[in-house]
Amino acid sequence: MAEPHKQEEHFDVLTKTGEKTGLSKSRGDVHRDGDYHRAVHVWIFAESTQELLLQLRADCKDSWAGLWDISSAGHISAGDSSLETARRELQEELGVILPKDAFELIFIFLHETSTNGGQFINNEFEDVYLVTTLDPIPLEAFTLQESEVSAVKYIHYLEYKNLLANEDPEYVPYDVNAQQYGQLFDIIARRYKVDNVARSLSLQKQLQRYASVSLNVELTGLSDADKGALDLLIKAAAIMDEIFNLQVWYSNPYLRDWLEKHAAASQLDKLKWAYYLINKTPWSCLDENEAYLTTADSAIKLLPEATRRVSGWKGLEYKAAFPSQKPPGANFYPPDMDKMEFTQWKDSLPEDQQNIVAGFFSVIKRHSESNSDSSSPGSINHLEGPKYDLYNVPFSQEYNSFLSKAAELLRKAGDRTSSPSLRRLLHSKADAFLSNDYYESDIAWMELDSKLDVTIGPYETYEDTLFGYKATFEAFIGIRDDKGTAQVLEQNLPMDDAYKSKDVSAAPIRVVQLLYNAGDVKGPQTVAFNLPNDERIVKDRGTSMVMLKNVSEAKFKHILQPIADVCITNEQREFVDFDSFFTHTICHECCHGIGPHSITLPNGKKSTVRLELQELHSALEEAKADIVGLWALRFLTLQGLLPGASLKSVYATFLVGCFRSVRFGLLEAHGKGQALQFNWLYEKEAFVLNPDETFSVNFDKVEDAVESLSREILTIQARGDKESAKLLLQKYGVMSEPLKLALHNLEQIQVPVDIAPEFPVANGILGKKQF
């Protein structure tokens, strides 16, 4: 009887840029046709000895037999993920079982070769992972796959680099040029040859960009019942920090706990912790998300069962890894998922399910990862299509352990408060945390009429730079200032009437003294927010906004006024005032709620601006709110609705604000949006650079320039025109020479970039010490 034919391994066929095409082909056909495909390389590095683990390829291998090579490697089969392939190859070849947070993707290398007279073409994207162990793994702890590996050994990384550079015949060849495989050695060298004194000075300089401000809010206006509720609300808000830590990156919670535990070990460790408290991640918000920490700084985790047991050895200790490049999809999507894979999966689903997977309140996972982690995807409310590895998990299940605690606290706080509207909000928000349906709680938030002002839940989508779909958790607790206003500007917007909304609602404004914030409040602090972002509610009920008055006052005093002293010409410096800054912020938030949201595309399909513009939406929306807010101030002033307002003060203060926001960096939505506005207005000669390197407003040209940019952005949004949005941001959302000059001058006198708030009231409730 003939033996059954062994099915040949299939690979996913990729584009030349490394994205999945949706096609798969057999291994032989891929190499015959020169199709792009993907493989993994895994290096095990022992930190204490600076050694890399090498494996000796088995003599029976069809390539490079009997030569020393990478710790572990293998092709990614069709439908499999990169990270799970890396984990599987390490287990199969060496008998090492590690969780995903042990694997650090350090670079992707495109290897293009042709052998056998052009009969074997290898166009391979190689995902290079680094596993950092504290000490070398005892050689007897490995379980070698005889068909693949004959032996293993450790070698110092510099000795190994030298052997490769000299093309030693006992080693599989790799190009150690810095632009090729030499990246591995350069990364290790940079990571461990660090001057701690210089590093401490660098962190001190980064910290000095934030002015520490204590926001000590009086509670005298609160009833005793609301004071009792406040304690519970602060504790519920603190849980938003725990969820946000996990939303940023899956090993981020371990990093946070490790840095806090070791903060007193040295001056450098104290600085690491202090800067982490501001950024809440290992990536610096004000430095285009450049990593200020490496995996070498991260938590050490012990796995006694990761390998074969060895007498006298406690087990494998590794560093919980995070990538040097901030992941565009944060922890909302599998780290190796690309946009094409998600889009093809989403498009395979029914329309109602498409809306859910592209919605605010879920994470996307892989079946393959769930199976390898021994979790049961069958018990999860997942949406899937045939052939696809992806599935959807609602926040209510993904973060259930946190949300259950927060819901209990909110319900108890609602029971205590004397305000009916606050009670309704807290009870409905508690229900939403467990049901994943936030519609009713968002309506209750909009109708809140309480001295104690509360915003808590998943709202902003800035962390999801892959699509801009997924919301992060945040909380703002404050005392109402009882001053506010509302305006409807929609029907006068500078855009064609065909695009204007007919049923937009007024946006009530709540002015608040902030006493605590948590969750997605890292880096530069918000001075206001306009919510909800749910397009259904925006369409049905409009939006509401919250103005953080004490935060705005602190920013004006510590940042805007010093910027004006450096960057604005003497003749116009007197026009810069707090009222203009605060009023423009109100208009900015108001203008988030007007203009295009739910739209009809040219082909007649109903959609939203967010879904069409995807990762470009946040930056363009911030620019829209800013520039249309500036247009709105002129409109309201001319209508006599802002008595005493000075348009010269409005424009001069806006110019100062440009320099403030651009300093957040062009990877941040507000910073990129502000660069777009400044450069447009500068090109139109509305902003002028003077010979003494100060700037001024050309009051004769600024109004037309503001209106023209407002029209441009609003029209792009109304059409859902992603290509035009891309071109606009590429041309104007850049660090131009005038901006560079202004930022250089501010750097010379070290004007703070933003504030780092301290919350004495909340810290007393939480038992936190001031750092």
Closest CA to 225 of 420, 442, 425, 428: 420
CA angle 594, 596, 599 (to 5 degrees): 145
Residue ranges for the chain with pLDDT beneath 70 = 1-7, 371-386, 482-495, 497-507, 769-771
Instruction: Give the span between the Cα atoms of 502 and 507, in whole angstroms.
Output: 15
Instruction: Give the span between the Cα atoms of 396 and 386, in whole angstroms.
Output: 25
Strands of the 473-480 sheet, one edge to the other: 452-458, 473-480, 509-519, 544-548, 528-531
**Residue with token string 């705005």:** 552
Reported as a single tens digit per residue, the pLDDT across 722-748 is 999 999 999 999 999 999 999 999 988
- In whole angstroms, how far apart are CA 684 and each of 249, 388, 677, 697? 42, 50, 11, 11
DSSP of 1-45, one letter per residue? -PPPPPPPPEEEEE-TTS-EEEEEEEHHHHHHHT-EEEEEEEEEE
0.75 exceeded by the pTM?
yes
DSSP of 641-685, one letter per residue? -STT--HHHHHHHHHHHHHHHHTT-TTSHHHHHHHHHHHHHHHTT
The pLDDT of residue 492: 57
Q: Are 278 and 758 in contact (CB under 8 A)?
A: no
CA angle 349, 350, 353 (to 5 degrees): 80
Instruction: Give the span between the Cα atoms of 484 and 488, in whole angstroms.
Output: 14
Instruction: Give the span between the Cα atoms of 585 and 556, in whole angstroms.
Output: 12
Instruction: Give the span between the Cα atoms of 370 and 353, in whole angstroms.
Output: 21
**What DSSP state is assigned to residue 492?**
G
Q: Facing residues of 512 across strands? A: 480, 548
Residues contacting residue 653 through CB under 8 Å, at least 6 positions apart: 560, 575, 576, 577, 580, 581, 584
Residue 573: count of CB within 10 angstroms of its CB = 17
Instruction: Give the span between the Cα atoms of 259 and 600, in whole angstroms.
Output: 49
At 480, is the secondary structure helix, strand, or coil?
A: strand
Residue 551: count of CB within 10 angstroms of its CB = 24
Instruction: Give the span between the Cα atoms of 58 and 69, in whole angstroms.
Output: 11
Instruction: Give the span between the Cα atoms of 703 and 422, in whole angstroms.
Output: 42
CA angle 82, 85, 88 (to 5 degrees): 155
Residues contacting residue 209 through CB under 8 Å, at least 6 positions apart: 286, 752, 753, 754
Identity of residue 580: S
- In whole angstroms, how far apart are CA 274 and each of 203, 204, 253, 322, 676? 9, 10, 16, 19, 32
Instruction: Give the span between the Cα atoms of 742 and 679, in whole angstroms.
Output: 13
Q: For the chain, what's the residue count?
A: 771
Q: Where are the beta strands (DSSP E) in 410-552?
A: 452-458, 473-480, 509-519, 528-531, 544-548
- In whole angstroms, how far apart are CA 585 and each of 493, 634, 706? 18, 14, 16
Which tokens belong to 64?
């490079």
Instruction: Give the span between the Cα atoms of 167 and 679, in whole angstroms.
Output: 52
